[in-house]
Structures are given as C-alpha cells and as structure tokens.
Structure 1
Amino acid sequence: MANTKSLLCGLIVGGLIGGAATLLSTPTSGKDVRNKIKNNRKQLEDYLQLLKEESTLLKEQVLKTAKEGSEVIKEVSVDLKKSISQFQQEIEPHKRDLQNEIAELEDKIKQLENTLQHS
C-alpha cells in the first residue's frame, strides 16, 4: 500500500508541477490553456479511478489467494496427520517384534557371559 500511496502522491505532485510549468511557459491564449487543463485533469481523474479499481481488484485477489492457501495448508496438515497415524499403526507390530528380539538377544548375551565366567 505504501508504494501505491507514493505513486499516487507522485502523480498528483507531478501533475501540479507540470500544470504550473505549462501555465508559466505557454505561448497560447488563456482559453486554450484552460481547455488543455480541463482535458488533462479529466485524463488524470480517469487514470486515478482506473488505478483505484485495479487496486481494489488486486486486494480482493490477494485475499482470495490467502484464503485458498490457508485451506490447502489445512488439508495437507490433515492428510499428513492421517499418514503419520497410519504409518505408526503399520510399524507397531514390527516395533514390538524388534523389541522382543532385542530382549532375547540381551538374555542370550547374559547367558553367554555367565557361561564364560563359570568356565
């Protein structure tokens, strides 16, 4: 929004300076100058109106895109949670099997240590 305000301010100041310079340096009659000023003023008003409309459309598009992005992130988050939960359920039996095998290996190592100490 700061860039839009700066642009708008620059257009207005530039228009005023250009108008003043034209008035001071013009060799044409006052009537012609007034007509040119009216035309230029109308063009500037039209341009500013167009700029305002396009800014409003851009704002609406940004809000729409942000809303859609938020919805997509929520959907991805839900899907990711489901995938993680499913993965945890799938590996649970393997996890228990590995824990049992580790416990058995520890028992065998202890038995082997006891056998080696008594020998």
Structure 2
Amino acid sequence: MANGKSLMTGLLVGGVIGGLATILTAPSSGRDLRTQLKQNKQKLESILIQLKDDSISLKESVVKTAQESAVVLKDVTADLQKSIQTWQEEIEPHKAELQKEISQIEEKIKELEQTLNK
C-alpha cells in the first residue's frame, strides 16, 4: 500500500509542478490561462476518480483472490493428508516384511561371526 500512496503522491505533486511550470512559462492571456486551468483541473479530477475506481477494483480483486486461495489451500491440505495416510497404509505390509528381513540378516551376521570366531 505504501508504494501506491507514493505513486499517487508523486503523480499529484508532478501534476501540480507541471501545471505551475506551464502557467509561469505560458505566453497566454489571463482568460486563456483560466480556461486552460479549468480544463486541466477537470482532467486531473477525472484521472483521480479513475485512480480511485481502479484502486477499489484492485482491492476487491485481492480480497476475492485471498478468499478463493483459502478454500483451495484447505482442499489441497485435505488431499495431501489423504495421500499421506494412503501411502502409510500401503507401505505398512512392506514395512513388516522389511523388518523381518533385517532381523534375518542380523541373525545370519551373528551366525557368521560365531562361525568365524571358532
């Protein structure tokens, strides 16, 4: 939000400085100058209104996106938990088999050590 305020401030200050520079260097009569000022004021007002509308639209889009992403995040989390649970259930029989094989290997190593120590 700070960048948006800085941009808005920069545009406003730049517009004012540009307008003043134009006024001071313009070789026109007072009437022409007032007409130009009035036109420039109207342009500036329309630009500010457009910026306001755009910022409101952007805010609404951000809020909507945040709400949608919260729902998607919940769905992804639920799916991930299901996947992890399924994976754990699938590896459980293999886990028992691996533990059994490791025990058998340990026994064979002990037997081999006993055979070598004799």
TM bucket normalised to smaller: 0.7 to 0.9
Letter in 1 for 2:94: H
Please give the alpha-carbon distance, in whole angstroms, between the structure 2 residues aligned to 1:64 and 1:78. 22
Please give the alpha-carbon distance, in whole angstroms, between the structure 1 residues aligned to 2:71 and 2:100. 44
Q: What TM-score results when the alignment is normalised by the length of structure 2?
A: 0.81
Q: Which residue of 1 aligns with 2:103?
A: 103
Q: Which residue of 2 aligns with 1:36?
A: 36
Q: Which residue of 1 aligns with 2:75?
A: 75
RMSD (CA atoms): 2.1
Q: CA deviation at 1:45?
A: 0.5
Q: Report the count of equivalent residues.
A: 118
Please give the alpha-carbon distance, in whole angstroms, between the structure 2 residues aligned to 1:7 and 1:116. 82
Question: 3-state DSSP class of the match of 1:28?
Answer: coil
Letter in 2 for 1:24: L
Which stretches in structure 2 are left out of the alignment for 5+ residues?
none
Matches within 5 A, 1:1-119: 1-114=1-114, 117=117
Please give the alpha-carbon distance, in whole angstroms, between the structure 2 residues aligned to 1:75 and 1:62. 20
Letter in 1 for 2:72: V
Q: 1:117 to 1:16 in 2, by over 3 A?
A: closer
Q: What TM-score results when the alignment is normalised by the length of structure 1?
A: 0.81
Question: 3-state DSSP class of the match of 1:27?
Answer: coil
Q: CA deviation at 1:18?
A: 2.5
